[in-house]
Structure 1
């Protein structure tokens, strides 16, 4: 049988557009709900929006079906814990009160022939209801590693946030196997750190030598390794599967429209797929550079918005 996985998600209203693009990239589909079933095994730590994953072992039409099936679990001397996975956006008629959830956890625990340990179990199981059916299986939660990456030794105010950077890395490289990526305007390496932490093969480059040193320091600080070179994108002769291009901006930026177009053209020259991040609407410029826009989203942060555009 094909393995089945249940995922729960968390995203603020401002993040829904970005979350949707990341879901389409990782799962090939999206959902309006904070829960989804998929045949794909995505590490929950990859996404800033995935809360939990259940690798389904048993499913049934009701809890009685699940109670009967969990009696087959054999853990020998190992301990376990059972968690009812709570979904925050359910309708009132579908919500299950806290006391009932605890009773279900206790009932399931009594049907598993092993010792329960709520503090330090060898195995954690989760169960949830979705679409009128019940699911039980191995439970994993997200460790939110990107929060640790906020504490870089080198930083500056206009850098991408780590949540956005992690989502962008997933949009660019949903499956890292055999993919070579580049961030040719990498700044202090926020995207590089997130990508490297997920096993993505990525290199960086920047035209500012001091910024390059900062990116190298940040990468080394978190124990990752990657090549970060100093130089202009026009000097790159290698080819890559994907490039992540965060267009230069801020009040002190002197980048002209002609230079922006040159960046886009060189990105198209060196990569088959490019993720463009911009605070301006530059669709005409993207088209002029020879790209086709295949997907996009808006990443909002209070009154500030960035566009994330998938180009091929």
Structure 2
């Protein structure tokens, strides 16, 4: 059966301490989450975007039995291009029904027999995926995440309490799940961990920080990865433009805690300059967020060493 509307199946992998963050990112992308490791949606997201997304199948055919898939793949026209079929290992089969490695390879080969074209397991022109889920079989174009964010872990400038690259990438996605025509600001950008991830995903985000030396580090990090955006040394109170979204990593270090008055002022200015905000904090600031005029619509916690951070989505 040909699908008239696009349908995508995503596979996920994450560490236990990342569960809440991954689920919040899912909700930001798709408006729902799942802990099954598989998610189906009609929303297209490239798997390179998420630090937790492993693979994506754009469904071409589906059926109650593998035989129905075999009949449908005969329709594929490759025009002398090569192909490869990959069996997606993640599924919801009961332990006694699990498909073992040898049978997975056998299914890949069997599907390949029904596709008119030349198989190439090394450098195929087309890659297809097959997965069983919810009692049905799904087959379609396959994309594997290249985990491009891994290269961003090696920054010229860094400091110990900065967000990890994985968390920063997820925060950027939560803030701007659909980048088209969206403007964003990181007014406490630190060394630019969120900025790097945002710019690598074509998110239109600028940066600002009150610390001159930190801003120099931000610029050095951006230049290292060949990213360009405006990075200003200055206080958020000086911002006059308006943005669709702000990412605010509340200032914190080992030696001083920002006063509640200063935190409230930062949040009030964020409310002034942005329609929506993703706030990262190590403290409980729900009352301050409300006092600034924001409404909390979603949230999660994530851990880095001894730090437990809250990531709070506000409108």
Q: Same fold (TM over 0.5)?
A: yes
C-alpha distance after superposition, 1:41-65 (max 9, x if no partner): 1111111111100011111111100
Name the structure 1 match of 2:116: 113
| Alpha-carbon distance between aligned partners in 2 of 1:51 and 1:215, rounded to the nearest angstrom | 29
Distance 2:278 2:172 in 1: 9
TM-aligned CA deviation for residue 259 of structure 1: 0.9
In 2, distance between residues paired with 1:152 and 1:74?
45
In 1: Cα distance, 2:272 partner to 2:82 partner: 55
Looking at structure 2, the residues matched to 90 and 14 of structure 1 have their Cα atoms a distance apart, in angstroms, of: 25
Q: Equivalents in 2 of 1:90, 1:173: separation in Å?
A: 35
SS in 2 for 1:44: coil
CA distance in 1, matches of 2:14, 2:238: 39
**Contact 1:34–1:89 at 8 Å: present in 2 too?**
no
Question: How large is the RMSD of aligned CA atoms in angstroms?
Answer: 1.2
> How far 1:136 moved relative to its partner?
0.6
1:190 to 177, 193, 207: 193
Question: In structure 2, what is the Cα distance between the partners aligned to 1:46 and 1:136?
Answer: 22
Structure 1 residue 23 corresponds to structure 2 residue 26:
yes
In 2, the alpha carbon distance for the partners of 1:303 and 1:185 equals: 22
In structure 1, which of residues 181, 186, 200 is the aligned counterpart of residue 184 of structure 2? 181
Show the 5 A alignment for 1:100-249. 100-249=103-252
Structure 1 residues 71 and 47 mapped into 2: Cα distance closer, same or farther (>3 Å)? same
Unaligned runs of 5+ in 1: none
In structure 2, the residue matched to 1:269 is 272
Instruction: Output the TM-score relative to the length of structure 2.
Output: 0.96
The aligned length equals 312
Partner SS, residue 86 of structure 1 = coil
- Which stretches in structure 2 are left out of the alignment for 5+ residues? none
1:64 aligned residue (41, 45, 67): 67
CA distance in 1, matches of 2:268, 2:97: 52
Query: Which TM-score applies when normalising by structure 1?
Result: 0.97
